[in-house]
Amino acid sequence: MATIEEEHKNLIEEVGLSYVATASNDGVPNVSPKGSITVLDDEHLAFADIMSPGTRANLEQNANIAVFVCKPETFQGFQFKGTAELLKEGELYDALAAKVAESELKLPPPVNAVRIKVEKVRKLGEA
């Protein structure tokens, strides 16, 4: 289990965009941008699954996930690896649905809330 530290939380809030990598049981990869990445606590991240059929299909087969957050102009970033859980209802789903509804992008409601238990954090450039 890894801890999401203040440095990680600050970058996630500042950047606001992440890239989520998943793979099917057959190893077919998928990468998808997420604008709703949220820190839940020191061990969990979450995002709204809005229009991500590839991500959703992979997570239904294989819960392993990687989330990459980077500030490109400084090459400051982190990769968070863990396991994901798809939630179709509940407090987290409602909170992410409200966040999506407030967006100026006029997006449809989420299909799922995705809660990630972070098991490893790696700083960009570290092995």
CATH code assigned at 107: 2.30.110.10
Q: Is residue 39 part of a domain?
A: yes
d(CA 57, CA 100): 21
For tokens 């100026």, name the residue.
104
Per-residue pLDDT of 21-44, as tens digits, reads: 999 999 999 999 999 999 999 999
Q: Is residue 92 part of a domain?
A: yes
Do the strands 112-123 and 29-34 form a parallel or antiparallel pair, or are they unpaired?
A: unpaired
pTM of the model: 0.93
User: CA-based angle 69:73:75, to the nearest 5?
Assistant: 50
For tokens 């939630």, name the residue.
87
Q: Is residue 1 part of a domain?
A: no
Q: Is residue 11 part of a domain?
A: yes
Q: Is residue 110 part of a domain?
A: yes
Domain total of the chain:
1
Q: How confident is the model at residue 127 (pLDDT cuts 50, 70, 90)?
A: low
Average pLDDT over every residue of 104-120 = 93
Out of 8-12, 88-92, 98-102, which region has the weakest mean confidence (pLDDT)? 98-102
Q: Do residues 32 and 47 make contact, with C-beta atoms less than 8 angstroms apart?
A: no
Residue range of the domain that includes 18 = 6-122
Per-residue pLDDT of 83-94, as tens digits, reads: 999 999 999 999
Give which of 30, 40, 48, 60 is closest to 107, Cα–Cα.
48
d(CA 78, CA 122): 6
